[in-house]
Amino acid sequence: MPAPARFPLPTAEIHVWVAYLTARCNFACDYCIQKPQMVPGQRRKPWGRYQELTGRQWVDALNAFPVRPEHPLILTGGEPSLHKDFAFLASRLEGYQLDMTSNLTFDIDAVAREMKAHGKQFATSFHTYHPKFLTPEKWLDQAERLRDSGLVAAPVFSMVNLERFPHFRDDEHDQNVARLAQLADRRGLVYQWNEFRGTHMGEAFNRDHKYRIDCTSAWVNIDPEGNVHNCQYHLTERKHAFGNVTDIGNCRPLPAMGEFFACTDFGYCDPCHENSGHGAFRDQQGNIFRRTANDARVYLQWMQPAAIKAVARRYFAQGDHREAEHALLAAIGKERDAGTDNGETWADLGVTLYETGKRKQSLAALLHAIDAGVTRTETVGSALVVARELGLVEHARQTILRHVPAQNLERIERALDVVRAEPARS
């Protein structure tokens, strides 16, 4: 094919070429950035169905390009290895430095044999552990097999850092992540933590509004049917295609890097691409910015009180007491909206407020919990400890005695006296 007067796809190093071989994935993580509205606990679905290009169509189209990128072409998805011709097309692309992103569920040995037979190798690859879909042992076995297979020159293994986002974690997640880190260190497998980028401008990434802004796209995104887009939102929504890779001569040129163009879809951007550091945005006041805010609290709006309290417990366990406080207040607000007043939530809030140094608020919350029927020894004892520190013991006793027999209260007070006396004796 004769080279066009201007090759329509930019090749400057900053632009990222990505071939989405398929939109399908065999996992369904609730924090996946490939689909909008990340709702904690709600599994993600593929963004659409495509008449996927065959491996031969990919190879014929990409190998006909008169100009190739000056950096890797990333094969991704969905899960790219679900494409029936994955090994074929990866092993027959010419003139490309290949990268791959994959969840490590493919037949590594089979792909490595095919690549080796054609003298090919991936330059790098990126594989993130998904703790709800693979055991640590299985994932590490696959990681070691890939590392030793020669399929990839420099594979990268990672986990998404959800420490600030316990909304997307549960006990199984945390146990598997801890187990994987332990086993990886023992086996000598190097891994990294990836930043979670899931909010837009400090708001939930839910595509509930969009507005005009000037953008500089840094992406060459090719969808499973070969259509070329300069942002992932346009790719997933099949809007504003510049052409198709199977007819590159008739593809309209994508904007050059640093060239601002008007876009009315800002707010619907994919947060991973939006926050990647590639490209820039310019608002209507002329301010240029790159990264957007990332506020974990926005996810609470979709969660039920029980799930929010589980988030608060995870925050508390990791020592982030202020976020635990915020989550518990959100749970209380939702409970009140539903016409309930859960004393257990108030008891948790009281303990959390104590850790943030808010002693008076802590006592008020603990006494409210007791008024709501939470009269177990730990809660009553906690209220008394705080009351003693504040010099409000009689006030606390009046509330407690409305719900706890006097002899039980006296027993708890004697136990506290013993505990307080022990340090003095020692």
CATH for 402: 1.25.40.10
Give the pLDDT band (50/70/90) at residue 164: confident
What is the residue-averaged pLDDT of the chain?
Answer: 88
Tell me, what's the pLDDT at 286? 81
pLDDT value at residue 380:
95
What's the pLDDT tens digit per position in 286-341?
Answer: 877 665 555 678 778 778 999 999 999 999 999 999 999 999 999 999 998 899 99
pLDDT at 12: 75
Q: What is the pLDDT of residue 391?
A: 94
Exposure string of 96-120, with b = 16+ CB inside 10 Å and e = fewer, is: bbbbbbbbbbbebeebbebbeeeeb
Residue 295 lies in a domain: no
In this prediction, residue 426 carries a pLDDT of 47
Assigned domain for 23 exists: yes
Determine phi and psi for 160, rounding to 5 degrees. Answer: -75, 130
Q: Domain limits at 268?
A: 16-281
Q: What pLDDT score does 310 carry?
A: 93
Same domain for 125 and 20, yes or no, is: yes
* pLDDT value, residue 1: 46
Same domain? For 229 and 175 the reply is yes
Task: Report the CATH number at residue 135.
Answer: 3.20.20
76 plus 192 within the same structural domain: yes
Reported pTM:
0.76
Tokens (6 digits) for 118: 């054609």
**Last-in-domain residue among 228, 250, 281:** 281
Residues 232 and 128 in one domain: yes
- pLDDT for 346-375, tens place per residue? 999 999 999 999 999 999 999 999 999 999
pLDDT at site 201: 61
Residue 425 is assigned to a structural domain of this protein: no
Q: Are residues 212 and 310 in the same domain?
A: no
Q: What tens digit of pLDDT does each residue of 79-138 get?
A: 999 999 999 999 999 999 999 999 999 999 999 999 999 999 999 999 999 999 999 999
Both 236 and 310 in a single domain? no
User: 32 pLDDT band (50/70/90 cuts)?
Assistant: confident
User: Structurally, how many domains does the chain consist of?
Assistant: 2
Residue pair 326/286 in contact by the 8 Å Cβ criterion: no
In a domain, 426, yes or no: no
> What local confidence, expressed as pLDDT, does residue 233 receive?
84
**Do 384 and 239 belong to one domain?**
no
Dihedral angle sign, alpha carbons of residues 143, 223, 95, 116: positive
**Within-domain flag for 11:** no
Q: Tell me whether residue 7 is in a domain.
A: no
Q: How many CA atoms lie within 13 A of 73 on its CB side?
A: 24
The count of C-alpha atoms lying within 13 angstroms of the C-alpha of 336, restricted to the half-sphere facing its C-beta, is 8
Q: Check whether residue 241 and residue 319 sit in a common domain.
A: no
Q: Within the chain, how many helices (H) and strands (E) appear?
A: 14, 15
Query: Per the domain annotation, does 257 fall within a domain?
Result: yes
Is the domain of 271 the same as that of 347? no
Cα(2)–Cα(326) distance, integer angstroms: 62
